[in-house]
Amino acid sequence: MRFLKGFFLGILCLGLIGVKTVVAQTNNETSFEAKVEKITEEKQIEIEGQKQLYQKLELKVLTGQEKDQTITIENGNQAMANVIKYEIGQRVIVTKDNSPTGSGFYSITDFVRRDSLWLLGFIFVVLTVLIAKWKGVMSMLSMVFTFVVVFVYVLPNLSNGVNPILIATIASIIIIPISFYMAHGISQKTTVAIVSSVVALGVTAVLSVMFISLGRLTGLSSEEAGMLLVQRSGNFDMKGLLLCGIIIGALGVLDDITISQASIVNELIKGSEKPKGGVIYKQAMNVGRDHISSMVNTLVLAYAGASLPLLLIFVDNPHPFSEIINYEFLAEEIIRTLVGSIGLILAVPITTLIAVNWIRKDKDDKLAKK
């Protein structure tokens, strides 16, 4: 056990060493951090018949080649739907235009929000370790390992034009066993969960291929997808990328479903002197059905919460509902959500069936030897 834990940690460390921090920068633009030192002017101005806030700011550069220099930026001097009001002491991301037509022009593009992210991450880690103890530590290492696989293997290969379906398959084969064993330990129920997850993921992949084709999805419904295709001069498999996203997105929830069902079956068999497969299956499925019903409700609420701006667009919309759901950007989300949900629902009976036969047979063999 210690050897395997050391092996997993070794893989994790090697992956982390390979991760490189990339800073988005082009020949025409340079980005750096700065701090608002002084507000020299603040007033309401009128642009194109609309009143909006105008600020003249002095900022101290914190990073980059111009570090410690003071720059002046005008905020709200152009027509904007929403002008952000900046305050002294705030740290921001500044972009400098190096092009011949706009040389030396500075603009604020975002806030520096790392401190809040680090604080939230720290709270998450502390609570996980305090409540889940060693299992919490291993689950976090499993999470980090998954991120390493995604950023070191999946994204670079997708960027290089490798077949997305092949990448998703290989990534799943790497992530599922290692992350499951790291998070839940090496045991029979974890092995059952791994096998069940692979089967359920295969079903999800088949359904994804089928309904991406039946729905005539192009994978170009989002602005980011269109930008990527333009960047690659039209030479990119966007349908494959959509399929890859569905498969990888299903991985995390499959862990919860399959390990829960395998654990239920394992405990039922352990607590029974002469376990009968049919009885154990029915008992485990009674719990599994509750899991399915709560999961479906969770998925609906999670999607609604993440998509409120999108859903609000359809309130009092003059177009009929049948036309609205036919739009590709919405049809893609519906297919993505439902295909993933079907895979998760099928994971319950698949895991239960495999666990009942596998774990019960193992107990029968042990009893026979006695």
pTM of the model: 0.72
Question: How large is the angle between the packed helices 2-18 and 114-148, nearest 10 degrees?
Answer: 120
- The ranges of the chain with pLDDT < 50 are 1-26
pLDDT at 363: 65
Alpha-carbon distance of 259 to 263, in angstroms, equals: 6
* CB neighbours of residue 235 within 10 Å: 7
Region of residue 316 (left: phi > 0; alpha: psi -120 to 50; beta: else): left
Distances from the Cα of 343 to the Cα of 190, 200, 347, angstroms: 19, 6, 6
Q: How far apart are CA 72 and CA 60, in angstroms?
A: 9
Number of Cβ atoms within 10 Å of the Cβ of 37? 14
CA–CA dist 127, 197 (Å, integer): 28
Alpha-carbon distance 162 to 155, whole Å?
10
Burial 324-344 (b: 16+ CB within 10 A, else e): eeeebebbbbebbbebbbbbb
What are the residue ranges spanned by the domains of the chain? Answer: 31-112, 133-369
Q: What is the pLDDT of residue 139?
A: 86
Q: What is the pLDDT at residue 116? A: 92
Using CA atoms, how far residue 298 sits from 17, 37, 245, 302, in Å, is 37, 45, 20, 6
Residue 93 is predicted with a pLDDT of 93
Nearest in space to 104 (alpha carbons), one of 66, 47, 161: 66
Hey, what are 69's tokens? 């220099």
CB 180 within 8 A of CB 255: yes
What stretch of H or E contains 159? Answer: helix 155-159
Which CATH number does 31-112 carry? Answer: 2.40.50
Phi and psi based region of residue 161 (left: phi greater than 0; alpha: psi -120 to 50; beta: remaining): left
Residue 104, phi-psi category: left (phi > 0), alpha (psi -120 to 50), beta (remainder): left
- C-alpha to C-alpha distances, 272 to 276, 279, 363, nearest whole angstrom: 9, 11, 10
Look at the domain 133-369 and name its fold.
Multidrug efflux transporter AcrB transmembrane fold (1.20.1640)
Would you state the pLDDT for residue 196?
Answer: 93
Which residues, listed in sequence order, are joined to residue 92 by a DSSP beta bridge?
34, 111
Beta strands per DSSP E along the chain = 29-47, 50-61, 70-75, 91-97, 105-111
pLDDT digits (tens, 9 = 90+) for 164-179: 888 888 998 899 999 8
